Amino acid sequence: MNNTAFNNRVKNLNNKKVKAGDFVLYWMQSSHRVENNWALTYAANQANKANLPLVVFFGLSQDFPDANYRHYWFMLEGLKEVAAELKKNKTKFVVKVGSPAKILVELSKDAALVVVDKAYLKTNLGWYKYAAENCEAGLIQVEDNVVVPVEEASSKEEYSAATLRPKILSKLNYFLELPTAVALNRSSLNLEIDTINIDELEDILSTIKVDKTVDKSPFFRGGTSQANKNLEDFYQNDFVEYEKTGNNPENGLNSNLSPYLHFGQISPIYVALKMLRTNQLEKHRFLEQLIIRRELAINFVYYNNKYDSFSGLPNWAQKNLTEHLDDKREFVYSLNEFEEGSTHDKYWNAAQKEMVKTGKMNGYMRMYWGKKIIEWTKTPMEAFEWALYLNNKYELDGRDPNGYTGVAWCFGKHDRPWSKRSIFGNVRYMNDKGLERKFEMKKYLDRVKLLV
């Protein structure tokens, strides 16, 4: 193990030392996996070093912004696998319903040390802040859901992929390393700590307060085993063609890994190492998306606390869109019409219905989808709000740095000014004729019909 590189993933959140305790506690919040988990590996090593058992805790929040039954079901399927794997390694998995940070503080009273993984949205950062201020044990954070840790990649909000790419490439090989699994010296399975039964998914979801208006996806199952299956299928069957054609709506080639990356059910480092055939990352369409674009999105939400609002967009984009508030719109739709996919545009409707039914939308179509919401809404501010609402409600990888950044890109983020036009000003425009020039859109429509 490259100890220096690993140390750059580690941060002490409260500067407290190891104290007397009954166990080492790993607070699993963003990395819902056992394999290739740097935070879990670090916690296991600390437990062995202190000759203590390891306990893994997950806090099941009932009020995570925009989360609903679809997201919870997929997440709990993954956590069910986590519980089974931890049991094989003599580790108790404690799942409690409530405020994760507050429950963590209570559990920390009996812990010698607490280790936590890292996420980047305001809700998660608020949890870490509360825990750091109130935790009785030392609180160590290990960042493992990116290849290059966000602060190592850049100390500021980057303008575009072009400015972040060379910074990541310069450190890529340094951080492309996976942890070695650790066998625990002591079992925690007999420790008396209350927990809900993670195997009873329907019972859990029937008793907790969660929006049940969006059903689980019939096309995606949660868990590391399914993530690995999708990765292997893509690697064996679609990767070569994807590298040639990209995320083309007509052929539907996709790794389908974004929901699993969102919930930390698979390591991006593991995925990158499997796919990397050359040190020249820029030759790989897939790895450009997995590493550069994904970590650019994380850079955005980490350094810009207005990532979820129109005011978080670049000044030039806000100015352009605002200046064209009074431009005539040929079509103006209500939120309900958007949600039902009942616009005049068959391609937009197909993309919306694909998302509503499956929990995922083709990446290129998601760009087109967002652009047309700008064009068919009374104001760009309303368009931004509605695009986020729809994306976060139906996408399994919604409520994610990629989701917030993908919507913001439609409004000019990480892009440059283009030719001036009505409604958009200098913000990039897309239309159905462009889709038809680039792709055989009938194939896309036919594919979506089979799904919905």
Nearest to 171 by CA among 30, 46, 295: 295
Domain coordinates in residue numbering, the chain? 1-145, 147-181+224-304, 306-451
- Give the Cα separation of 104 and 133 in Å (integer): 12
Name 12's bridge partners. Answer: 140
The CATH code of the domain at 147-181+224-304 is: 1.25.40.80
Rounded to the nearest 10 degrees, the angle between the axes of helix 363-375 and helix 380-394 is: 150
How many C-beta atoms surround the C-beta of residue 331 within 10 A? 12
Kindly report the backbone phi and psi dihedral angles of residue 160, in degrees, each rounded to the nearest multiple of 5, phi listed first.
-165, 175
Given a contact cutoff of 8 angstroms between Cβ atoms, the answer to whether 408 and 160 are in contact is no
The CATH code of the domain at 1-145 is: 3.40.50.620
Kindly report the backbone phi and psi dihedral angles of residue 24, in degrees, each rounded to the nearest multiple of 5, phi listed first.
-95, 140
Same fold, 1-145 and 306-451: no
pTM above 0.85, yes or no: yes
How many C-beta atoms surround the C-beta of residue 288 within 10 A? 16
Report the SS3 class of residue 92: strand
Per-residue pLDDT of the chain (452 residues; tens, 9 = 90+): 667 788 999 999 999 989 999 999 999 999 999 999 999 999 999 999 999 999 999 999 999 999 999 999 999 999 999 999 999 999 999 999 999 999 999 999 999 999 999 999 999 999 999 999 999 999 999 999 999 999 999 999 999 999 999 999 999 999 999 999 999 999 999 999 999 999 999 999 999 999 999 999 999 999 999 999 999 999 989 888 888 888 899 988 899 999 999 999 999 999 999 988 654 455 688 999 999 999 999 999 999 999 999 999 999 999 999 999 999 999 999 999 999 999 999 999 999 999 999 999 999 999 999 999 999 999 999 999 999 999 999 999 999 999 999 999 999 999 999 999 999 999 999 999 999 999 999 999 999 999 88
| Alpha-carbon distances of 374 from 223, 365, 395, 438, rounded to whole Å | 35, 14, 19, 22
Q: How many residues does the chain have?
A: 452
CA 133 from chain centre, in angstroms, equals: 26
- Give the Cα separation of 162 and 164 in Å (integer): 6
- Tell me the fold of 306-451: DNA Cyclobutane Dipyrimidine Photolyase, subunit A; domain 3 (1.10.579)
